């Protein structure tokens, strides 16, 4: 008889750093469809255009979306932690894992807004994704995939997610040579080998 699905890995998580207004979260309640759509309209996201808001809502909520957020109010010393909401945060980045939450993840729509780039937020974001998409938190994980462009990002994703290049897709329409990257998480010696 089928048991309940192992949804524990889908429990939303939030990552913070001392004295930083920035945090990462995969809590769907914090996603700002408006902020993401505004970013999708900018040239630096060369692979996409904005979507109708209800369509983008479905895309973001039908995936495991990791947001990079900035607290809008200075942190105060309180005994109770401040409750984070869309009202007191601004979404400044995204990494969207299209996933069944168990065995597979396709990483898409990764960005940090240009004014916040180059300060380590992108690496922190993908480190958080890697923490969730690991055999430790997803014991049945079989494969992670993504598309990217450029040597620097190939190396970055190799370091953070352990993915390797498995194919190329020349895209003259957007002036890019895209690469497919893929990782099969290494099974622990005690675990059954992943076959997918
Ligand atoms: C890629 C991106 C999310 C990284 O965010 P970030 O906050 O700037 O990242 P960090 O400061 O933590 O740097 C991490 C890595 O991002 C990449 N990166 C950062 N700035 C970059 C730039 N101007 N050009 C190319 N790669 C860059 C590098 O690989 C860097 O690692 P390195 O410094 O060891 O080479 C961000 O630069 C971005 O949104 N770029 C435009 C959209 C994009 O290309 N997204 C990736 C699609 S696959």
DSSP line for the chain: ------GGGGS--EEE-TT-SEEEE--GGG--HHHHHHHHTSTTSTT-----HHHHHHHHHTSEEEEEEEESS-----SSPPPP-SSSEEEEEEEEEEE-SSSEEEEEEEEE-GGGTTSSHHHHHHHHHHHHSSTTT-TT--EEEEEEESHHHHHHHHHHH--EEEEEEEETTTTEEEEEEEE-PPPPTTSPPP--
Stronger pLDDT, 196 or 175, i.e. the higher one: 175
Q: Which atom of ligand 1 is nearest to 150's Cα?
A: 25
Within-domain flag for 68: yes
State the total domains in the chain. 1
Q: Is the pLDDT of residue 9 over 60?
A: no
**Candidate from 52-56, 79-83, 118-122 with smallest mean pLDDT:** 79-83
Q: Give a yes or no: residue 5 inside a domain.
A: no
Whether 76 is in a domain gets the answer yes
Any ligand 1 atom below 6 A from CB of 153: yes
* Cα 173 to ligand 1 centroid, rounded to whole Å: 22
Q: Is residue 166 in some structural domain?
A: no
Residue 46 CB less than 6 A away from ligand 1: no
Mutate which of 120, 123, 159, 177 to test ligand 1's pocket (most atoms within 8 Å of Cβ)?
123
| CATH code of the domain in which 82 resides | 3.40.630.30
- Report yes or no on 189 lying in a domain: no
Range of the domain at 24: 14-141
136 located within any domain: yes
Residue 137, domain member (yes or no): yes
């Amino acid at each position: 008889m089928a048991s309940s699905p192992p949804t524990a890995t889908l429990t939303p998580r939030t990552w913070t750093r001392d004295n930083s207004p920035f945090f990462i979260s995969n809590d769907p309640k914090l996603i700002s469809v408006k902020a993401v759509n505004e970013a999708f309209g900018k040239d630096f996201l060369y692979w996409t255009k904005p979507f109708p808001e209800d369509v983008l809502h479905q895309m973001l909520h039908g995936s495991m979306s990791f947001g990079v957020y900035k607290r809008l109010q200075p942190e105060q010393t309180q005994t109770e932690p401040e409750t984070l909401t869309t009202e007191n945060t601004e979404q400044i980045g995204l990494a969207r894992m299209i996933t069944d939450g168990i065995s597979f993840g396709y990483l898409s729509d990764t960005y940090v807004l240009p004014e916040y780039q180059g300060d380590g937020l992108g690496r922190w974001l993908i480190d958080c994704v890697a923490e969730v998409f690991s055999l430790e938190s997803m014991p049945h994980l079989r494969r992670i995939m993504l598309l990217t462009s450029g040597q620097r990002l190939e190396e970055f994703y190799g370091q953070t997610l352990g993915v390797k290049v498995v194919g190329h897709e020349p895209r003259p329409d957007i002036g890019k040579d895209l690469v497919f990257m893929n990782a099969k998480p290494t099974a622990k010696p005690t675990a059954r080998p992943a076959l997918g």
